[in-house]
Chains A and B, each alone.
Chain A
Amino acid sequence: MTKYSIFSLLRNAMGYHRDWQQAWRSPDPKPEYDVVIVGGGGHGLATAYYLAKEHGITNVAVLEKGWLGGGNTGRNTTIIRSNYLWDESAHLYEKSLQLYEGLSQDINYNIMLSQRGVLNLAHSLGDVRDTKRRVYANKLNGIDGEYLSPAEIKKLVPIINLDPTIRYPVLGSSFQPRGGTARHDAVAWGLARASDARGVDIIQNCEVTGFDIDKGKITGVQTSRGQIKAKKVGVVVAGHCTVMSDMAGFRMPIESHPLQAMVSDPVKPIIDVVVMSGAVHCYVSQSDKGELVLGAGIDAHNSYSQRGSLHIIEDQIAAVCELFPLFSRMRLMRQWGGIVDTCPDASPIISKTPVDGLYFNCGWGTGGFKATPGSGWVFAHTIARDEPHKLNAAFSLDRFVNGFLIDEHGAAGVAH
């Protein structure tokens, strides 16, 4: 792998950039792998990367039915934070944030991690109580976080509307300075390139159509490009995980919903931090390109269409204009949708399954991007060792049976 740096850039500039290598190969699938990862999104690629890096397992294929990073990795609003309420979540997301903090250098690909800080606004006394509860918990978990008064919010976001007479005035906020955003495509591409460099085969346009299961144990997968044998199979297909579990013959506590997001036209910097609000239901950040990146809530109905309804967008934009009245004259440039898989307790499943050697990583709902490296890291461990790491032990499929749920509905605030 040619190292990326200002020097290699200068060197290649001399040759009109004709000599750059492919970021990753496009190999034909081999007949057999030690591990097959189904799903070439950020989480799947991270899993492959850490399988190779942390566990020395390099005979790995990542099978992607479309283009890698084309699912929710390439459709989300790129928010990263780890200020979750419950210990289990906080530890997992914090692991992920820590991995993010060194990821550009680790994979030699600038993922543009931008730790400009994340605010989660409180608009009612109940919000304030819950927000403080979460901040206290974050602090005792060793995660950076503060509770900010409106005056302190104003310093970070001078354009926010703090008028106490608005419908749901801003009463306070949590603030995680290490939160922020990253360039979502770069996360997928960088992990693909780094996995490829360690020998992982990334196979795009290869759809898994079935699992080969012999006496309760996985032996391989059927794909649009033929059968591929595998000792272990990890499934990381946000949105489509029940399609996969149907093939494997077990049920999942998952529903797939459209989630819409949108950007405005690009303007000069106007807002530095990420602002999220559960009560008025919006999240806003500004990309390095200058676009306001805005998120909405999920459409209520199940869907696999990657299209959402206009009224969700209208409600979302109304919330944005309520909090930021000066955005009213800015214009929406593009809206799109992804399919998110939601769990009853708003926490993911990173787990062994009833089939030996088959592992599922799903249910990230609307907030999976921030977990990408951490999710891959623990999933790689789970696959390599055939047992969960302590960071993901609680995120098992069993919890829906025994009741050990990790209910982040309240803490997630706005579903993100």
Chain B
Amino acid sequence: MSQTHRLHDGGRIDRSQQIDFYFNGKLMSGYRGDTLASALLANGVMLVGRSFKYHRPRGIVTAGTEEPNALVQLERGASTISNMLATRVPLYDGLDASSVNCWPSPTYDVMAVNSLFHRILPAGFYYKTFMWPVSGWKVYEHFIRRAAGLGKSPEVPDVDTYDKMNAHADVVVVGAGPSGLAAARAAAATGARVMLVDEQTELGGQLLNERFEIDGKPAMDWVADVESELMANPDVTILKHTTAFGYYDHNFLGLIQNRSENVAFGQDDRTRQRVWRVRAKRVILATGAIERPLIYSDNDRPGCMLAGALRAYVNRYGVSPGKRHVIFTNNDDAYRSALDLKAAGCVVAAVVDVRKDPSGELVTQAIEAGIEVIDNSAITGVLGTKRVRGIEVMKLNDEADGVTGTSRTISCDTVGSSGGWNPVVHLHSHSAGKNTWRDEDGVFVPGDTLQAEACCGAANGSFSLAQALNEGDFAGIDAASHLGMTAKKRPAVPTANSDVDETPWRTIWYIPTTKPAGQRGKHYLDQQNDVTVADVQLAAREGYRSVEHAKRYTTLGMATDQGKTGNIPGHAILSAALGQTIPQTGTTTFRPPYSPVTMGALAGRAVGEFFDPIRRTPMHDWHEQAGCLWEDVGQWRRPWYYPADGESMQDAVSRECLAVRNAVGMLDATTLGKIDIQGPDAAEFLNRVYTNAWLKLAPGRCRYGLMLGEDGMVMDDGVTSCLGENHYLMTTTSGGAPRVMAWLEEWLQTEWPDLKVYLTSVTEQFATLQLAGPNARDLLSEFTTDIDLDNDAFPFMSWQDGTVGGIPARVYRISFTGELSYEINVPASCGLSLWTDVMNAGEKYGITPFGTETMHVLRAEKGFIIVGQETDGTITPIDLGMDWIVSSKKPDFIGKRSLSREDTARPDRKHLVGLRTADPEEVLPEGGQIVAETRPQPPMDMIGHVTSSYWSAALGHSIALALVKNGRGRKGDTVYVPTGDKTVACEIVEPVFYDPEGSRLNG
């Protein structure tokens, strides 16, 4: 297809660079500088898709971000993007776009059958039906879901990457139209660090679409001059093709930058998009204005556009949107479109003006140019369905709420309507800025804000070029002066040479026809979601009077364009229906993002391996080579077990368990939290945070401690050693270490600043090798000469300094396995070397590396708890049978008072017990719920649950720990664990299964 609608000259496109692209599989061509929309129009394509509900044929309406209709599925496969605006996709070679929500094509769409039923599909129809039969909704919904949605999600993972940049700026200017450029220039002249952001690929904003002059030269020449001036300033950052999508508290902005020339692909190994997180001292919003449509009957027909868009296509892209154009307006500005079309050689059939005797300078120019101006009139109907064929025009009555006389038909294929302009107050509103209603032209303009922010130009409701330049310049100077910065040499305020006197708008929100709304064509407010004037009126009639109710009931403004063109007219229609003013009705809340933001860009690099850091111990690679499986514990990755070839998990764990019980095993215990505690009040501090007594722990000794929350519930546990006078080393659970460190700091800093105690996290300073098993002493003795391993010299719950394998080491004799056990702490950098040496030397002792699973089995055989497994934030030490560790002598410790509350002091709370299954081979499921009596069917009363359950290779039967209501009072009772397919009977026993006397760990 040739570019039938391309003008012979003009526009900012580069005609030397032809670009081929595909639309719905058809090869077309455009030029560099085109958007997909302008290229489609150049090729004579107006019909681009179908609407959400009625599947009405829809065309291109605008030339920008406010576009409600021209959504396309861009690209295919891994590169596809749903619901992209054709008006915002710069054309690139090979671009492949297709229409959404229609099949087989936008011209012939099967689902258009919906529009036949439009009479029974008013706003909210689905709330009133689909209720029979009771189970019917599931079936209806299936079809509704299939019909809904517009584009398609990708079906394969994204191939592109994204990144983020954090930035600080003195002044951020959003919008590089005349006002924004003037602001940036004025601010930059003071030496301020300025960031200028614009969503378009070129600076200029609305000037790109106009034929204005500034400082006596074409406006775009002025833009180019300002751009080079700013580019030369090292303190200025210009971000083109970058949308400020959100404005958050404390002057924080989110920007999304397209880093690639074509929006669908990353290029040259660059990330496709970048999110900028910008903290600004001052923000200037020069975000311009969005033209609002006039709401006339069948205003959704392809070819019905906005007046400003017509001249954008003519002036910027050298495209004539149609062959015969009609302008429909309530203001003078739209006459610019008529004049620009005419100047470009396009046909303007008429200007239909709702005002009586419009007389502004632009009107005069239009009449002089030979354009017919039909005043005091309304478009009452549009001919054509897949493309406008003509319009019907009638005179308005005096109140402008009806039409009179006879209808006149004007043949045309394109209508550009203008109902005035709405300032883009979105960003201002995101951060709780208020808006105020300006009655004379019926617009919301930005009001008070909490942020260090100013709006200027059209965004501030100042629509003339001269105003925009002046306000921008002032905003730039003012922002800098708030920061104490002034320009030594102030640049001259740019002057507009194109401004003319304009006559006021005539605000008519609803363009009447001969019949009430909804009975002669449809007046669309939200074209994408098919929301009409009649829908909003229905909402008001049915009592959905709040603007939020009306929005939600009709879905007005809930489409991908978020109502950029339709909301204000919609709110006006609602106000009229309720007989109240628009400010009384108010607006719905403007929420980020201003336009849709790629989720991958918001995730940035925080995906895959960077989603959350992995903490690895110094011995990580050894474990990996030994073929271990891993367990995630907090951010740590720990060896879970080390299966030999062909071994099942159970086989491997049993082998590891028996090795520890009968020979020696080695565990990488590096991940246990280690907190160095120093200071004259360290013992007192420990005494307050642990449940047991700490004032008399001698240097060289270790003690187990239990830490409670202030609510009395177990929070963490570990062994703390006295390293010297006023010096302790606390160990914590692996996952709980950061929490415990923060907890201790909080108490010290906020509650007990008088205590002289200093905390240092030393977890990562040490590698910890745990040797456990009857051969542990013999093996260790091969590595040390200066540590006396004799039981009397180095008893259980003590520690020694010395060298192990020539490495300075601190060795703790503590045990979580119930065996003779040493935890050897060496500098982290020496961990791998020592580990390797011990493994080699240990061969003759039967050394076996073991992982967390074996550790869990061994400690469960001993009845040792794991915080987070035997506890869940609702368990006290007494529940665990650990009253031996709760000091009754200490007047206070954290959590003590909570233990005497009615519920916590109850004797029949859940208690930690052991379970022995009737069938010793049967291993209970962890998490299994326990009942005292079974019933054939649920519900059954539960009395507790299985917290830990394993096959004990050492004992030759299964073991389990459980929390059971009044468990200590049920010793010997038989209880049941229903597992779904069967019920397992078990006996409540003591929670210590192995070596209850502790002779092994003391030996």
- By a beta-carbon cutoff of 8 Å, the part of chain A in contact with chain B is 4-6, 8-10, 13, 16-18, 20-26, 66-70, 74, 87, 102, 104-105, 108-110, 112-115, 123-126, 129-137, 139-142, 159, 161, 166-168, 183, 185-186, 189-190, 204, 264-270, 280, 286, 288-290, 305, 307, 309-310, 313-315, 317-322, 325-336, 344, 399, 401-405, 407, 409-410
Kindly specify which of B464-472, B740-748, B937-945, B989-997 makes contact with the partner chain: B937-945
B603-A109 in contact (CB<8A): no
Instruction: Report how far A392 CA is from B431 CA in the complex, Å.
Output: 39
Tell me if B925 counts as interface (CB < 8 A to partner A). Answer: yes
Is B157 touching A10 in the complex (CB atoms < 8 A)?
no
Whole-angstrom CA separation of A34 from B122 in the bound complex: 38
* Residue pair B157, A13 in contact (C-beta under 8 Å): no
How far apart are B183's CB and chain A's nearest CB, in angstroms? Answer: 24
**CB distance A321 to B129 under 8 Å?**
no
Contact bitstring B958-989, A, C-beta under 8 A = 1, else 0? 00000000000000000000111000000000
Residues of A within 8 A of B612 (CB): 167-168
Since A321-B600, A327-B153 are in contact, a sample of 20 more A-B pairs with Cβ atoms closer than 8 Å, ordered by chain A residue number, is A9-B120, A17-B534, A26-B543, A67-B548, A104-B131, A109-B128, A110-B127, A137-B945, A167-B614, A204-B546, A267-B82, A268-B151, A307-B248, A325-B607, A328-B607, A331-B597, A334-B591, A335-B591, A336-B591, A405-B903
Q: Which of B81, B149, B152, B162 has the most CB of A within 10 A?
A: B149
Once bound together, how far apart are the Cα atoms of A105 and B135, in whole Å? 10
Query: Cβ of A335: which chain B residues have Cβ within 8 Å of it?
Result: 246, 591-593
Rounded to whole angstroms, the CA-CA distance of A109 and B128 in the bound complex is 6
Give the Cβ gap from A211 to chain B, nearest Cβ, in Å.
Answer: 26
Tell me, in angstroms, the Cα distance from A404 to B606 when the chains sit together. Answer: 41
What separation, in Å, do the CA atoms of A217 and B516 have in the docked complex?
55
A selection of 20 A-B contacts at a CB cut-off of 8 Å is A4-B127, A9-B120, A22-B541, A23-B542, A23-B543, A24-B543, A104-B134, A114-B137, A126-B868, A139-B978, A140-B978, A185-B553, A189-B553, A322-B611, A327-B153, A330-B82, A330-B153, A331-B83, A331-B598, A402-B902
Contact check, B129 vs A6: say whether CB atoms are below 8 A apart.
yes
B844 at the interface (CB under 8 A from A): no
- Does B148 lie within 8 Å of A290, measured CB to CB? yes
Verify if B873 is at the interface (C-beta below 8 Å from A).
yes
Q: Is the CB of B898 closer than 8 A to any CB of chain A?
A: yes
Scan B117-147; emit 1 where CB is below 8 A from any A CB, else 0.
0011010011111111010011001001110
B217 in contact (CB, < 8 A): no
Interface stretch, picked from B43-51, B282-290, B309-317, B926-934, is B926-934
Q: A26-B545, A109-B127 are in contact. Are A310 and B560 (CB under 8 A)?
A: no
CB pair A332–B131 under 8 Å, yes or no, is no
Partner of A333, one of B153, B549, B593, B980: B593
Given contacts A140-B978, A142-B939, A288-B144, contact A321 B560 (CB under 8 A): no
CB of B940 to closest CB in A, whole Å: 5
Residue of A nearest to B899 (CB): A403
Assuming the A-B contacts A18-B541, A112-B126, A310-B246, are A326 and B607 also in contact, with contact meaning beta carbons closer than 8 angstroms in the complex? no
Query: What is the CB-to-nearest-CB distance from B766 to chain A, in angstroms, rounded to a whole number?
Result: 25
Residues of A within 8 A of B154 (CB): 326-330
Point out the residue from A108, A141, A328 that lies within 8 Å of B600, measured CB to CB: A328
B607 contacts A321, CB within 8 Å? Answer: yes
Q: Which listed residue, B591, B598, B929, touches A133 by the CB 8 Å rule? A: B929
Chain B: minimal CB distance from A118 (Å): 15
Residues on B with C-beta less than 8 A from A102 are 134
User: Chain B interface: which size bin?
Assistant: 35 or more
Q: Say whether A326 contacts B602, CB under 8 Å.
A: no
Q: Are B869 and A126 in contact (CB under 8 A)?
A: yes
Report if B952 contacts A (CB, 8 A): no
Q: Are A115 and B926 in contact (CB under 8 A)?
A: no
When chains A and B are docked, how far (Å) is the Cα of A5 from the Cα of B130? 8
Most buried by B among A136, A161, A410: A136
Structural contact, B598 and A167, CB atoms closer than 8 A: no
The distance in angstroms between the C-alpha atoms of A141 and B939, with both chains bound, is: 5
User: In the complex, A262→B418 CA distance in Å?
Assistant: 33
Contacting pair A266 B541 (CB below 8 A): no
A125 CA to B641 CA, complexed, in Å: 13
Bound form: Cα–Cα A115–B544 in Å: 27
- Residues of B within 8 Å of A186, CB to CB, are 127
Asked if B609 is at the interface of the complex by the 8 Å CB criterion, the answer is yes
**How distant is the Cα of A105 from the Cα of B543 in the complex, in angstroms?**
21
Does the CB pair B548–A70 fall under 8 Å?
Answer: yes
B259–chain A nearest beta-carbon distance, Å: 15
| B364 close to A (CB within 8 Å) | no
A6 to B133, CA, bound (A): 12
Whether the Cβ atoms of A140 and B931 lie closer than 8 Å is yes
CA gap between A30 and B144 in the complex, in Å: 43
CB-based contact B80/A329 at 8 Å = yes
B589 at the interface (CB under 8 A from A): yes
Closest to A86 in B: B874
- Complex CA gap A113/B141 in Å reads 10
A195–B23 CA distance with the chains assembled, in angstroms: 53
In the bound complex, do residue A326 and residue B153 qualify as a contact, i.e. CB atoms below 8 Å apart?
Answer: yes
Provided the pairs A126-B869, A402-B903 are in contact, do residues A318 and B611 lie with their beta carbons within 8 angstroms? Answer: yes
Which residues in A have their C-beta under 8 angstroms from that of B872? Answer: 130, 407, 410
* Known pairs A317-B602, A328-B599, A403-B904; A268 contacts B152 (CB<8 A): yes
Given contacts A290-B148, A307-B249, A326-B157, contact A74 B548 (CB under 8 A): yes
Closest A residue to B605 using CB positions: A318
* Chain A residues within 8 Å of B937, by CB: 142
Interface hits, B241-276 → A, CB 8 Å: 246, 248-249, 252, 254, 275
Q: Which chain B residue has the least Cβ–Cβ distance from A407?
A: B874
A267 touches B127 (CB 8 A): no
Known contacts A23-B544, A335-B591: A167-B611 contact under CB 8 Å: yes
CA gap between A67 and B926 in the complex, in Å: 48
In contact, B599 and A264 (Cβ under 8 angstroms): yes
- List the 10 closest pairs (A to B, CB-CB), nearest first: A290-B149, A133-B927, A328-B600, A403-B903, A67-B546, A331-B596, A132-B927, A325-B157, A328-B158, A22-B543
User: Nearest CB to that of A337 among chain B residues?
Assistant: B591
- CB neighbors of A among B411-453 (8 A): 430-432
User: Is the CB–CB distance between A329 and B598 below 8 Å?
Assistant: yes
In this assembly, does B321 line the interface, its C-beta being within 8 Å of a C-beta of chain A? no
User: In whole angstroms, what is the CA distance A310 to B604 when docked?
Assistant: 13
A124, B634: Cα distance in complex, Å: 9
Most interface-central of A16, A344, A401 (chain B CB within 10 A): A16
State in angstroms the CA–CA spacing of A67 and B588 once bound together: 12
| Residue in A5, A24, A125, A268 whose beta carbon sits within 8 Å of that of B129 in the complex | A5
Q: How far is the CA of A80 from the CA of B122 in the complex (A)?
A: 28
CB distance from B843 to the nearest CB of A (A): 30
| Given A9-B120, A13-B119, A332-B596, also A266-B129 (CB < 8 A) | no
**Cβ–Cβ < 8 Å partners of B538 in chain A:** 17, 20
Q: Are A112 and B137 CB-contacts (below 8 A) given A129-B926, A330-B599? A: yes
- What B residues does A286 contact at CB under 8 A? 145
Interface positions of B from 601 to 636, Cβ below 8 Å from A: 602-604, 606-609, 611-612, 614, 631-633
Inside 8 A of B548's CB, which chain A residues have their CB?
67, 70, 74
A183 to B603, CA, bound (A): 28
User: In the complex the two chains form, what is the Cα distance from A268 to B609 in whole Å?
Assistant: 30
Contacts of A23 in B (CB 8 A): 542-544
Given A105-B134, A288-B141, A310-B277, CB of A8 within 8 Å of CB of B128: yes
Q: Inside 8 A of B679's CB, which chain A residues have their CB?
A: none
**Whole-angstrom CA separation of A327 from B603 in the bound complex:** 11
Please, which residues of chain B bring their CB within 8 A of the CB of A10?
A: 120
When distances are taken between beta carbons in the complex, the residues of chain B under 8 Å from A270 are 152-153, 155
Shortest CB–CB separation between residue B332 and chain A, in angstroms?
35
A24 to B434, CA, bound (A): 31
In the complex, the answer to whether A307 meets B431 with C-beta atoms within 8 Å is yes
Neighbour of B158 across the interface among A87, A112, A168, A325, CB < 8 A: A325
Alpha-carbon distance A159/B158, docked complex (angstroms):
13
CB pair A328 B598 closer than 8 Å: yes
